[in-house]
């Protein structure tokens, strides 16, 4: 068999001296070929450029995402709070923290259309005639801005936040506000009249149905309301997550809602802040904390030591989800995540939910059958705005602010790069296979290998293109890690992608491990059968055989004592050791001292000559002793002197028995029972030796025993 060079020998970083060449032994391969099939979850964490990744593990060319501008005018803004588009193809971004309304023309020119007095433009909508209505925070005003950039305050709501603005077919204007959670109906004059006072602190999403009824989403309790034109409302949905960030209305009358929960926070120690008004510790004549709050003096802040930290909140189950609310009240969950939050939502041409998330900024498409496709990832922190604009969609981001256009047609080509595959050790890579969902288009796979978890300069170069989905051979050098990428060209939609990517490999066979080899119980001597315990595992998960061998002290002539070939094994990935036990019957072994060692091998799981074997680090010194100890007794008055001797092992104890029951243990004269000869002095004064049967019983370390009568009893 010809073996390929390992990755370390081909990176160009090793220099071989001309005077000497070191020949390395051929690697031992594990006999079993292994298959790695990419899971849908792993595919979601790869790098996609123009390629969509579905929740069931498909890759296909995604709709084309391109920047609306060169970004020079938007990069200085941190956040896009709102987005709108007019009939002429112009896109408007409501930004913060400088309160600018940016205009992006179809040619990509960016300019500041208008700047409000507040720091945030939180809502935007285009009304009849092409003018903009812009809601702001934290003053709760609505501005009317012309397409030429002239603007003025149109409505004063009296609230702090205008989160959402919606218009009906009849030209009616509605505004969702906070901090009182009031929905206003606004007359053409700009006069704001409360239409509905909700139980939510904020109304953050709002839309108007064709019949003039409203749907509103709150933040605080996660309620979705339905209102008629007179403001009579009922709750359509009460969610566990507290914020209904966005709503969309489907053609069949059902709703799609993007819901999010608060981010996880780290527990903070108890703190205190002391304000020192006018430099005085206690303000003269102060009667309440209000005096402190009004003071302009310095403050002292610190942590209160010694107080218990607040209990950690339970682990978060859901950070965000997208649901469909059917006309009959049924709710279908389309997507959920423990880490990502949906900040924006829109429907595509087929009424599917397209939504943008944050941390990281990603764009998803849910088809309503619990299949979700990751369409694109952006470099910004959040996709905070989505809007249908003609035959395409506007994608607005925050941290920093940017804007993209998503075309309805797919990319002509795209590329996906997988996360590195880890064979857990050096491996020889075989073939890569995949499934094609259609015959149109082209898929080219490339692979590279290396021995560091992150691909770097020590990795091999990308191999040649592989185009046979039934099994294209991998020609890269052996290595622990492999990464693949696929280039898709042509084809239309999800039906022309690839799926079920599988890589075969044979790992280098690695030796098993054995630990905690011990005699149970650990007496150091046995007379018959001894029970030995140990722990084993194999990094490749091979079936293992463990055997115990013995030899006289100082000898290398080892003899097999017993074997355990039950095949118990655990791999490194399991993080546990498999417990093993072997019993050695010493009846056919001569008495005397021996050295025992334990060996573990994986020969049964590998081809001849390629198995590996490991010896336990610590050997056991053991005495085989089948001879009972000898008791010699002498009497001087009421004092009994006893000498116990044992040949192969040591004396372990001397018991005084009356009528067959242990009355007490005798203490040796030297205080410790640990040698082959021990002397005992028994003072039996006060004991009635005439009552019952008195005996002495001696035991050695191997458990052998002998008895002798107590003289005078």
How confident is the model over 479-503, as pLDDT tens digits? 999 999 999 998 666 567 899 999 9
CA separation (Å) from 64 to 343, 376, 395, 398, 493? 21, 9, 12, 20, 12
What separation in angstroms does the CA of 692 have from each of 148, 302, 635, 687?
120, 79, 19, 11
Q: C-alpha 291: how far from its chain's center?
A: 50
| Residues in the chain, total | 713
C-alpha distance across the termini of the chain, in Å? 82
Domain residue spans in the chain?
Answer: 7-19+31-45+413-506, 513-624, 630-709
Answer for the pair 444, 467: CB distance below 8 angstroms, yes or no. yes
Task: Find the Cα–Cα–Cα–Cα dihedral 55, 59, 60, 61, rounded to 10°.
Answer: 100
Question: Can you tell me the mean pLDDT for 209-227?
Answer: 96
Asked if the model's pLDDT at residue 711 lies above 90, the reply is: no
Q: Map tokens 């002429």 to a residue.
A: 88
CATH code: domain 630-709 is 2.60.40.650
Q: In this structure, what token pair is assigned to residue 7?
A: 């990755």
Strand partners, 275: 299
Q: Which CATH architecture does the domain made up of 7-19+31-45+413-506 adopt? A: Sandwich (2.60)
CATH 3.40.640.10 fits 513-624, yes or no: no
Contact 519, 699 (CB under 8 A): no
User: Taken in order 219, 220, 226, 228, is the CA torsion positive or negative?
Assistant: negative
pLDDT score at 685:
84
**Which H or E element spans position 614?**
strand 613-615
- pLDDT tier, 71 (very low <50, low <70, confident <90, very high otherwise): low
Distance CA(609)–CA(628), nearest Å, equals: 47
Q: Record the tokens describing residue 594, joined without a space.
A: 């021996």
User: Does the pLDDT of residue 449 top 70, yes or no?
Assistant: yes
Give how far the C-alpha of residue 456 lies from the chain's centroid of Cα atoms, to the nearest Å.
24
Same fold, 7-19+31-45+413-506 and 513-624: no
Model confidence at 21: pLDDT above 50 = no
Name 643's Cβ contacts closer than 8 Å, sequence gap at least 6: 631, 632, 633, 677, 678, 679, 680
pLDDT at 287 over 60: no
In degrees and rounded to multiples of 5, residue 96 shows phi and psi of -155, 160
- Whether the CB-CB separation of 650 and 684 falls below 8 Å is answered with no
Mean pLDDT value across residues 606-620: 91
SS3 state of residue 496: helix
pLDDT band (50, 70, 90) for residue 333: very high
> What is the C-alpha to C-alpha distance for residues 301 and 19, in angstroms, rounded to an integer?
71
- Residue 99 is encoded by which pair of tokens? 């309160």
Segments of 413-537 assigned E as strands: 413-417, 421-436, 442-450, 472-473, 479-489, 498-507, 513-520, 525-526, 529-537
The most confident of 6-20, 296-310, 663-677, by mean pLDDT: 663-677
């Amino acid at each position: 068999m010809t073996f390929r060079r390992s990755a370390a020998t081909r990176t160009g970083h090793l220099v071989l001296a001309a005077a000497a060449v070191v020949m390395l032994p051929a690697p031992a391969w594990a006999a079993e070929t292994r298959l790695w099939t990419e899971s849908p979850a792993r595919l979601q964490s790869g790098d996609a450029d123009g390629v969509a990744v579905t929740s069931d593990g498909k890759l296909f060319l995604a709709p084309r995402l391109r920047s609306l501008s060169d970004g020079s005018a938007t990069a200085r803004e941190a956040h896009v709070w709102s987005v709108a588009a007019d009939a002429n193809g112009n896109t408007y971004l409501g930004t913060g923290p400088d309160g600018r309304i940016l205009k992006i023309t179809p040619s990509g020119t960016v300019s500041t259309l208008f700047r409000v007095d507040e720091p945030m433009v939180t809502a935007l909508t285009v009304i009849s005639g092409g003018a903009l209505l812009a809601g702001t925070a934290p003053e709760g005003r609505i501005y009317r801005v012309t397409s030429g950039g002239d603007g003025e305050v149109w409505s004063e709501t009296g609230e702090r936040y205008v989160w959402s603005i919606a218009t009906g077919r009849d030209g009616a204007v509605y505004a969702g506000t906070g901090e009182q959670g009031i929905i206003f109906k606004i007359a053409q004059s700009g006069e704001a009249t409360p239409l509905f006072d909700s139980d939510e602190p904020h109304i953050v999403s709002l839309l108007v149905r064709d019949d003039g009824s409203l749907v509103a989403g709150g933040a605080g309790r996660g309620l979705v309301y339905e209102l008629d034109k007179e403001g009579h409302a009922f709750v359509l949905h009460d969610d566990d997550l507290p914020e209904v960030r966005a709503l969309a209305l489907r053609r069949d009358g059902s709703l799609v809602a993007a819901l999010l929960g608060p981010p996880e926070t780290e527990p903070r120690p108890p703190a205190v802040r002391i304000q020192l008004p006018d430099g005085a510790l206690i303000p003269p004549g102060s009667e309440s904390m209000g005096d402190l709050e009004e003071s302009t003096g310095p403050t002292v802040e610190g942590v209160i030591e010694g107080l218990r930290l607040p209990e950690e909140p339970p682990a978060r189950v859901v950070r965000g989800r997208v649901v469909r609310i059917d006309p009959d009240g049924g709710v279908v969950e389309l997507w959920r995540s423990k880490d990502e939050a949906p900040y924006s939502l829109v429907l595509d041409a087929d009424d599917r939910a397209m939504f943008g998330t944050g941390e990281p900024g990603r764009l998803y498409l849910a088809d309503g059958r619990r299949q979700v496709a990751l369409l694109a990832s952006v470099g910004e922190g959040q996709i905070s705005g989505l809007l249908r604009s003609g035959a395409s969609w506007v994608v607005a981001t925050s941290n920093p602010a940017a804007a993209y256009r998503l075309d309805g047609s797919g990319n002509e080509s795209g590329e996906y790069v997988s996360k590195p595959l880890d064979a857990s050790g050096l491996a020889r890579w075989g073939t890569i296979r995949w499934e094609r969902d259609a015959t149109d288009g082209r898929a080219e796979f490339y692979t590279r290998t290396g021995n560091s978890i992150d691909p770097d300069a020590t990795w091999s170069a990308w191999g040649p293109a592989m185009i046979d989905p039934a099994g294209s051979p991998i020609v890269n050098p052996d290595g622990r890690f492999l990464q693949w990428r696929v280039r898709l060209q042509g084809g239309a939609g999800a039906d022309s992608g690839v799926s079920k990517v599988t890589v075969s490999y044979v790992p280098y066979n690695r030796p098993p491990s054995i630990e905690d080899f011990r005699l149970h119980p650990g007496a150091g001597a046995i007379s018959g059968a001894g029970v030995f315990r140990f722990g084993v595992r194999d990094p490749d998960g091979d079936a293992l055989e463990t055997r115990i061998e013995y030899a006289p002290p100082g000898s290398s002539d080892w003899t097999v004592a017993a074997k355990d070939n039950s095949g118990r094994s655990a791999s490194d990935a399991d993080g546990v050791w498999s417990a093993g036990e072997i019993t050695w019957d010493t009846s056919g072994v001569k008495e005397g001292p021996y050295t025992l060692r334990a060996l573990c091998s994986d020969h049964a799981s590998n081809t001849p000559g390629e198995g590996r074997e490991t010896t336990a680090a610590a050997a056991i010194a053991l005495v085989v002793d089948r001879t009972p100890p000898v008791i010699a007794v002498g009497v001087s008055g009421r004092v009994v002197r006893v000498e116990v001797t044992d040949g192969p092992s040591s004396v372990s104890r001397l018991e005084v028995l009356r009528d067959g029951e242990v009355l007490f243990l005798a203490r040796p004269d030297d205080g410790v029972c640990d040698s082959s000869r021990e002397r005992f002095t028994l003072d039996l004064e006060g004991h009635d030796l005439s009552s019952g049967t008195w005996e002495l019983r001696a035991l050695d370390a191997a458990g052998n025993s002998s008895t002798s009568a107590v003289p005078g009893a």
